[in-house]
Structure 1
Amino acid sequence: MDGLSVLRDSIPNENRFSVFNITSHTYKVVQGHEILLDILVPKRLLDPKFGTENNGQKRPLLIRFHGGWLVGGLRNHELWNSRWLYSLAFHNNAIIISADHRLLPESTIDDLLEDLDDLWSWVISKLSDVLNTSSNTYFENSGFRPSLQVDYEKIMVGGESAGGYCAIQLALRANKLAAKSQGNLPQIRTVVPIYPMLDLKAPYWTEKYPKNIAGNPQYPFSVISNYFEAMEKNKQIVSSTPMGNRGVLAAACVQHGCFLKLFGKDLDILLGQNDIHPEDVIASGAKLPPMLIVHGIQDTVVPVEGTDKFVELVKKYKSISTMDVKCIFSETSLMYARVPGDHEFDFVVGLNDCDWVIKGADFLEKHWIQ
């Protein structure tokens, strides 16, 4: 352990949500379908024993997106998340938002990106009021009224796998809006993509050949055609669902080289639509905040090579900017934890369990909190 590092609190491996007060909220409605987010507040912030002297302090914010190939997953799965990331938020008394979004293929990739924009608008305009309304009911009989405030200068966004893709997209889109506003809108201060889905133009996603995806068998193309046929007969918006057969669909699409078919457009359009691909956005001059990016070398679901290429692209275009208006790129604003492990290898990892997590937490606290 680095001599400058400190021991940090980790949330329990089992019953992870037991240390949070969780409330669910609708952040948008599409054709009568509510799209939800959860707000996770460390319970100690609502406890009079802890909260009286700390009441009213502004709290950091983590916005986190779940994985699931963009086709499945849930915001509120207790064990399907990076324990160390939630632990870091808990250790720093941060508020967490875990959000759903419309899922492919019932919705398009444009729909999904629109949801990210609308989530960000909700965070800016609604979160503070919702926090105080929901927190005041927690100890309504105690006489203590917690005052929860978000520090909009300390926002971190992160996510696993497909959630890593969403995290990068939100960071790019939100900080572009902040730049245009000339300081009138908040920006995201740190981004944490964890084995993110990237390089979606690569042969892994676009060409057919046998692929070992987390031990899945090689699926016939009929898995894909049958799903789309059934979907057309009963098309509806889906924004939260266990993986189940949707995971089989995604794996089959990857194996048959037609993953982008799930995005809802012709392939030639998808390959040329720059805002879908973070690499194209970076190449156009967009900036990311300081970034810790994590990927397991043995990942059999999302190849580590996509992250390798993305990191090199970020370095090439000097695409990391700090809160400083000079937008100075520095290697100290980018950390790549390229470590042993398969997909989801970090789900049980605590904050003090290994060197990369300890150094990663130091990095994130420097750029997010300090």
Structure 2
Amino acid sequence: MAPLDDTTAANRFDTFNVYRAPFKKIGDHEIEAGILVPKNLKPGKKTVIVKFHGGCLIMGECLYPDWYAAFFIPFTTRNNAIVVTPNYRFTPEHTGADIVQDLHDFWTWFHGGGVEKFLNANTADKNIDIDYSRLLVAGESAGGYMALMSGLAQPKGVIKAILAQYPMTEYFRRGPESAFPDMPVPPSSAIDEHMASVTPGTVISSAVPPLRADLISALSTHDRYLEFFGDDKALWPVHLIEQKDWLPPTWIIHGDKDKVVAVQDSQAFVEKAKRLEGAQILFSVREGEDHGFDVATKEDEEAWLKEGLVWVEERWLA
């Protein structure tokens, strides 16, 4: 078994008991949340990390290990935490309002004891006592969007801290180049062909990459994202924060060479967040780094990462 700070996608979750729990049903389709319970969980109350997956709100999967940064493994274990990682519906089949509704419904299930009820009824990890007063929310890219939207929507004080990796704070748009270097940009007509092929009532809430990567390129490069997501600015953290007077302590990580989510979007969000009274914002811009640069990063090799995680722990566990 690999050291906790040296896992790969192939063994990322080897030190956890891994479960899938449905938290919402639309017709016959269940939207699930992954649950990671460390095999060496210590007695006592368990802190919790709610971690959302990325994928531009177009693709992704709650238990996809390739995008789950390795540093989260020792970070989770040493803090005696369990991880809950929800799926959610995707655009273009679903709107931004649909996605935010899934976010709301997840939190209702979570605060209603959904995790404990599932574990007690279906697993050997019974009678886990979750410390709801110590809740960390995290996510990368689109998961960062979900984390920030959670922080802005949940009542003040519910979420103790946020860790957002290169978050989408504004809608997804690009220039003429593909978001994926090895993939040519599909024509705009590919979007129409895809939508015509979708059976009415179909629910899409999980797609393991590279599935739907062509949609990411097409929707962003042809600037048709909002056509399907919706144009309500309050669906984006950089605008929603203007209506709020609080934000949980937040650490944002972003590479200044990010070719998928522009670092300028995070900068715009941080500037607005810092205007809030009592705001605690740590913004780490990593020189020369692209999207997803931190997936194999180790905190013992990167002082900035170690310092940032300590900053988060001090606020999460206070």
* Fold shared, TM-score > 0.5 on shorter chain: yes
Larger mean CA deviation between 103-112 and 28-37 belongs to 103-112
Verify the 8 A CA contact 1:66 1:159 in the aligned structure 2. Answer: yes
**1:132 CA displacement:** 3.7
Map 1:282-361 onto structure 2 (within 5 A). Answer: 282-315=241-274, 317-318=275-276, 329-330=278-279, 333-340=280-287, 341-361=289-309
Aligned to 1:210: 176
| Distance in 1, Cα, partners of 2:227 & 2:70 | 32
SS in 2 for 1:119: helix
1:123 aligned partner? 110
* 2:67 alignment partner, SS class: coil
- Alignment partner of 1:165 is 2:124: no
- Give the equivalent residue in structure 2 for 1:12: 7
Amino acid at match of 1:220: P
Equivalent residue of 1:79, what SS? helix
Segments of structure 1 that go 5 or more residues without pairing to the other structure are 1-7, 46-50, 139-145, 180-185, 319-327
- Judged with a 3 Å threshold, the aligned counterparts in structure 2 of structure 1 residues 37 and 253 are, in CA distance, closer, same or farther, namely same
Corresponding residue of 1:321: none
Gap change, CA 1:245 and 1:220, over 3 Å in 2: farther
1:246-271 deviation line (CA, Å, top 9, x unaligned):
111121111111221231x4xxxx1x
In the superposition, relative to structure 1, how do residues 274 and 253 fare at CA in structure 2: closer, same or farther (>3 Å)? closer
Matched, 1:198 2:169: yes
1:261 to 223, 227, 230: 227
Structure richer in helix, relative to its length: 1
Distance 1:356 1:60 in 2: 24
Deviation per residue, 1:309-357 (Å, 9 max, x gap): 1111111x31xxxxxxxxx515xx2111110311111111123221221
Structure 1 position 38, deviation (Å):
1.3
**Which of 79, 90, 97 pairs up with 2:84?**
97
Tell me how far apart the structure 2 counterparts of residues 286 and 160 of structure 1 sit (CA, whole Å): 24
Structure 2 CA distance, aligned partners of 1:116 and 1:172?
A: 12
Q: CA deviation at 1:235?
A: 4.8
Aligned twin of 1:32: 28
Output one character per residue of 1:58-103: Cα deviation in whole Å (capped at 9) or x when no partner: 1111001111111111111122212213431122110100111111
Greater Rg over alpha carbons, structure: 1
| Shift of residue 213, structure 1, vs aligned partner | 2.2
Structure 2 Cα separation of the partners of residues 87 and 107 of structure 1: 35
* 1:12 partner amino acid: T
Per the TM alignment, residue 12 of structure 1 is displaced from its structure 2 partner at its CA by 2.3
Distance in 1, Cα, partners of 2:15 & 2:6: 7
Match in the other structure for 1:60:
47
2-structure distance, mates of 1:9, 1:335:
25
1:44 counterpart SS class:
coil
The aligned length equals: 312
Amino acid aligned to 1:300: K
**Alignment counterpart, residue 60 of structure 2, candidates 55, 58, 73:** 73
TM superposition shift of 1:212: 4.6
Distance 2:4 2:11 in 1: 15
Paired residue type of 2:197:
A
**Distance in 1 between the 2:218 and 2:295 partners?**
25
Is 1:153 the counterpart of 2:133? The answer is yes
CA distance in 2, matches of 1:11, 1:90: 14
State the distance in 1 between where 2:177 and 2:312 align. Answer: 35
In the alignment, structure 2 segments of 5+ residues that lack a partner are: none
The aligned residue for residue 311 of structure 2 is 363
